[in-house]
Amino acid sequence: MDRFLADCHLHFEGCLPEETVRALAARAGHRFADPASFSRERSQVRDAAGFLALYAEVCRLFRSPDDYFEAAKAILARLTSDGLAYAEVYVSPEIFSRLGLPPEECLAAVAAAFEGAGPDQARCRILLDLVRHWGPEPAERVLDLHERRPLPAVVGLGLGGDEGSLPAATFAGVYLRARALGLRTSVHAGEWAGPDSVAQALDALRPDRIDHGIAAASEPHLMARLAEEGTVLCVAPSSNRATGAVAASSMHPIAKLLAAGVQVAVAADDPVLFETTTRREYDLLRDELHVSAAHRRRCAENAWRAAFCPPEERKAGLAAVAGASF
């Protein structure tokens, strides 16, 4: 399989191969060791609350930094086999802490696995994941960790979690500090909240890009702003359908965003939870959302343009996309 795709919106626990979920669950004595149990709970996700509960349950499978190292190696192998050349993966040190695990050791374990990739494997980098509904103090602790022990694999920071819990402005100081530390920034917005959530994120946090952002499609002036400012939206259609952010695939606004000139990239978000891959998301664009080949190629280019990677790596990625078939 040719590897030319970049995905800048993936979450660590949501990237696990299904067999890794079962192996971790077996060691932890968790019900997800039974494939039927995991599949059943996954199929019952209908909204944001259900998704966040399932994600939290997968997080509880981890027992040690070694678990994170082995899981990161499995993720690297799976993303490579799925056709990715480059990936940025959200990793949450605050989750490690809340599991009673040492956050520095767990983060270093993930970084070591990613940095140990072979020349024929995807290049994976880390985004520090801040959990919105836990507030700014835990977010500051994540930055404290990074400041104490910066890792080359860590290239950026983003805000996930319950979008409706706290306004973006609550984290303005965190984002200012992150940029001072040399981190690039993203933010989840316009997924489960309306277009105002996107506008507030732009105004208060000044992110380099936005994850999801699909609510902007209901506001022409906001789409015009995104297009003019060149802000890339990392959109995940299967995720949006599964969590109820859109009622059905046929109602997804990605084509409307593209027609308005918004720079859209395609992402898989949490592949194991949504039974997808980045490549399948492009198939979904073609087969169900009727996005043209030219726009699908543009989405692949935008993913590389939005990536927090060195210019030479971006140039090589764009060249690979130019030679690929869509």
For residue 212, list its beta bridge partners: 189
* Residue 1 reports pLDDT greater than 70: no
* Strand pairing class (5-11; 123-131): unpaired
Q: Average model confidence (pLDDT) for the chain?
A: 96
Q: For residue 153, which phi and psi values (nearest 5 degrees)?
A: -70, -20
E-assigned strand segments in 28-136: 84-91, 123-131
pLDDT confidence of residue 2: 81
- Its pTM stands at 0.96
* Residue 60 reports pLDDT greater than 70: yes
- Give me the mean pLDDT over the 175-191 stretch: 98
Q: Look at the block and give the residue holding tokens 């919105």.
A: 132
Sequence-distant (6+) residues with CB within 8 A of 8 are 87, 88, 186, 209, 234, 265, 267, 303, 306, 307, 308
pLDDT confidence of residue 243: 94
How far is residue 146's CA from residue 104's CA, in Å, rounded to a whole number? 9
Q: Compute the 3-state secondary structure of the chain and give helix, strand, coil in percent, each to the nearest 5.
A: 55, 15, 30
Q: Which residues are catalytic?
A: 191
**pLDDT > 70 fraction of the chain, expressed in percent and rounded:** 100
- Give me the mean pLDDT over the 117-137 stretch: 96
* Residue 19 reports pLDDT greater than 90: yes
**Interval 238-276: pLDDT, tens:** 999 999 999 888 899 999 999 999 999 999 999 999 999
* Residue 212 reports pLDDT greater than 80: yes
What strands lie across the sheet with 209-212, from one edge to the other? 5-11, 84-91, 123-131, 154-160, 184-189, 209-212, 232-235, 264-266
Instruction: Check if the beta carbon of residue 312 is closer than 8 Å to that of residue 117.
Output: no
pLDDT confidence of residue 101: 98
* Residue 200 reports pLDDT greater than 70: yes
How far is residue 260's CA from residue 151's CA, in Å, rounded to a whole number? 38
CA 217 to chain CA centroid, nearest Å: 20
Count CB atoms within 10 A of the CB of residue 314. 18
**Interval 62-83: pLDDT, tens:** 999 999 999 999 999 999 999 9
- Give me the mean pLDDT over the 302-309 stretch: 98
In the chain, the domains with their CATH numbers are 5-322 (3.20.20.140)
With H, G, I as helix, E, B as strand and everything else as coil, classify residue 316.
Answer: helix
- Give me the mean pLDDT over the 115-143 stretch: 96
Please classify residue 190 by burial: count the beta carbons closer than 10 Å to its beta carbon, then call 0-12 exposed, 13-18 middle and 19+ buried. Answer: buried
**Interval 133-175: pLDDT, tens:** 999 999 999 999 999 999 999 999 999 999 999 999 999 999 9
| Side chain identity at residue 297, one-letter code | R
**Interval 77-114: pLDDT, tens:** 999 999 999 999 999 999 999 999 999 999 999 999 99
For residue 124, list its beta bridge partners: 87
Confidence tier at 54 by pLDDT (50, 70, 90): very high
pLDDT confidence of residue 250: 85
